Structure 1
Amino acid sequence: MLYGYIRKNEVDIVARFPWDIGIVSFMVFPELMKTSEGASEKIRVLLEDPYFDLLEVTIIDDGEWRKLYELNKAYGKKFALGLQPVILTRGVNPSPVDESERVRNVEILAKEIRVAGERGYKAVGICSGPNVEGPDREKAKNALIKSLIELASEAAKYNMNLYLETFDVVWDRKRLAGALLETVKIVEKAREQAKNIYIMWDLSHAPLLNESPEILKSYPEFIGHIHIGCAKQVGDKLLDTHPGFYRPGALNTEYDVAKLLTVLSDIKYRGAISFEVRPEEGQHPLEVVNSAKSVLLRAFQLYLQSKV
């Protein structure tokens, strides 16, 4: 929960932040992308923080989940499943040209969706497989469409939405689904058979895709979830490492976040906004969390000043 305060024309104005605020727990604690050991104690600090309404988690074993479930009885937070680490680090590609590989990978992802649904999670996030150029590109996009339909259909059994996150195409992660326009066409085709598919747009990916929040105005009905964080520049390279705000090389600022909030308000966005920030070497995880919280507060103040 977040409230912003400004003073304008000698009037004090206090406003409640209009969207649910989430956080990607497995970026705050990157070790959770490899193992869920100790997940309940690590995530507990985020669970207890009244700032957050939504916690995005990746695969958590049953024992750690039971501990989290018991802890959450006192807080009533919502959970969403992030399968991006499974795709990015384990290579479970939802868009391979080989159909037998696609079927195997979809079953791996669908199994985790079923677990999330049975636990009462609210949504599932995925990304596409590696970028493909040349004559196989359309085949890879068609494979992604088939996988989206199948995974979204599985998620729908538990009243969950499926969010396809757009990543960079040429800089770092080099995913198939990158530019928003092309991704909209993929999702639009998949929606012919599964209506619960949306796009997850990440502010930290915007510099790598040469996009800005204004692009969302053209496709408001496709935007289901938002991430905020920073891209990183090292020399002439752009990296998708999600450093904390104001770290060396971090590209996004509170002014970018304020611009995004204005666009989301203009398109009447009703989803959640989640921080995706990762501690760098020598940083305590809560340092990046607290700096992100202060950036969002300042961005909300700038947004209010522009609206009042």
Structure 2
Amino acid sequence: MKEPLHHYVRPGIVHFMAYPVIKGEGPIIESLTELLSDRFFEVIEISWIKDPEVRKEAKALLEAAGVTVKYGAQPRLLTQGLDLNSLDSATRDRAVAEMIAGIDEASEMGITDFGLLSGPYPGAADEAAAMDVLTTSLNEICTPATNLGVNVALEVFDRSIDKKCLIGPADSAREIAERVKAEHPTFGLMVDLSHIPLLSESSAEALQPVKDHLVHIHIGNAYMDDRSDPAYGDMHPRFGYPGGANDVPEIVAFLDELFKVGYLKIDGSSRSAVSFEIKPVGSENPRTMIANSQRKLVEAWSQVTV
């Protein structure tokens, strides 16, 4: 593309992945301050902040920076082993209650976009029942969210390698979106480039079936060669990580497809968020890894041909 990236894209970053020491506590303000000093980013995705006083400080900091803020509830589910499609009603209820608490926290901070994920894939025999349970759970979450002006997005994850989620392959993502949107039209899907190789899909196979439901995008890398490698699975290593599945060519193909499905607008009439979801491996420095991602995206952008 001859025109600059920012004419079409609102670049973002997932704060709690770039700084994985943060799990509801830790150096939240310090790391946010570091990210917000980088004018490349227009969108910041945060997660739960356990201390109410730290939440207030973070809210003020984010408002002063003038960025769009999104809330990722995935850590609240994953770190606590919660399952929105559990066939055990008590287990499911705990997961729904935790998501509603997260929506309250997001609303308190003035955030209007809330991301989550489905629970584990239960196997073919229970798949239909799990889809029904997930539909019920998402509708129960979307009702209070809608009342607070918060939009809910379900992120698509792998089904067989790492997180092993119900949603899942593109066809399952489309089905759940159609079900939930029948009652809650603002519900949508989030697709992550990192998860596409984990699902053995191409960018077209991942995006075309869900093009009418896309509300947010993540980009990142995945590694699947050696189970003993610390980057194995859904660990979002930097672009260029040895043996990684995604680098500049895959980013180019993904961006091309985002234009084809209409998420990115060729006429530049609106700019959509595309957020890095990347995580340091071992002793890698978050700032160096973030700079790597920016360079890779800019390089890929120069090769987009639509």
Q: TM-score under structure 2 normalisation?
A: 0.91
Q: 1:104 to 1:14 in 2, by over 3 A?
A: closer
Q: Distance in 2 between matches of 1:86 and 1:74?
A: 26
Aligned to 2:225: 234
Q: Distance in 2 between matches of 1:107 and 1:62?
A: 19
Aligned to 2:268: none
What per-residue deviation string (whole Å, max 9, x for no partner) do you get for residues 124-152 of structure 1? 11011111014322221111111111112
What per-residue deviation string (whole Å, max 9, x for no partner) do you get for residues 255-290 of structure 1? 111111111112221531110000011211111111
Q: 1:180 aligns with which of 165, 170, 178?
A: 170
Q: Distance in 2 between matches of 1:73 and 1:219?
A: 32
> Could you tell me which amino acid in structure 2 is paired with residue 74 of structure 1?
A
Aligned to 2:295: 294
Aligned to 1:125: 115
Contact 2:103 2:150 in 1 (8 A): no
- In the alignment, structure 1 segments of 5+ residues that lack a partner are 7-12
What per-residue deviation string (whole Å, max 9, x for no partner) do you get for residues 14-61 of structure 1? 56441211101111111112x423201111111121111111111013
Q: Distance in 2 between matches of 1:231 and 1:111?
A: 31
Query: RMSD of aligned C-alpha atoms?
Result: 1.8
> Could you tell me which amino acid in structure 1 is paired with residue 198 of structure 2?
L
Q: Distance in 2 between matches of 1:137 and 1:31?
A: 34
Q: Distance in 2 between matches of 1:103 and 1:22?
A: 32
What per-residue deviation string (whole Å, max 9, x for no partner) do you get for residues 55-87 of structure 1? 111101322222222323432111111111121
What per-residue deviation string (whole Å, max 9, x for no partner) do you get for residues 173-219 of structure 1? 11111101111101211111111211111101111101121121333
Q: How do 1:43-192 and structure 2 match up within 5 A?
A: 43-60=32-49, 61-192=51-182
Aligned to 1:259: 253
Aligned to 2:211: 220
Q: How do 1:191-202 and structure 2 match up within 5 A?
A: 191-202=181-192
Q: 1:261 to 1:167 in 2, by over 3 A?
A: same
Q: Distance in 2 between matches of 1:169 and 1:42?
A: 32
Instruction: After superposing the two structures, state which structure 1 stretch, 152-161 or 257-266, moved more.
Output: 152-161
Displacement, 1:236?
7.2
Contact 1:40 1:65 in 2 (8 A): no
Tell whether 2:42 aligns with 1:41: no
Instruction: After superposing the two structures, state which structure 1 stretch, 183-192 or 13-22, moved more.
Output: 13-22
Q: TM-score under structure 1 normalisation?
A: 0.90
> Could you tell me which amino acid in structure 2 is paired with residue 263 of structure 1?
E
Aligned to 2:276: 275
Q: Distance in 1 between matches of 2:208 and 2:98?
A: 35
- In the alignment, structure 2 segments of 5+ residues that lack a partner are 265-271
Q: 1:101 to 1:38 in 2, by over 3 A?
A: same
Larger relative strand fraction: 1
> Could you tell me which amino acid in structure 1 is paired with residue 262 of structure 2?
K
> Could you tell me which amino acid in structure 2 is paired with residue 211 of structure 1?
E
Identity of aligned residues (%): 30
Number of residues of Structure 1 aligned to a counterpart in Structure 2:
294
Q: Distance in 1 between matches of 2:153 and 2:223?
A: 24
Contact 1:17 1:300 in 2 (8 A): no
Q: Distance in 1 between matches of 2:182 and 2:81?
A: 28
Instruction: After superposing the two structures, state which structure 1 stretch, 76-85 or 264-273, moved more.
Output: 264-273
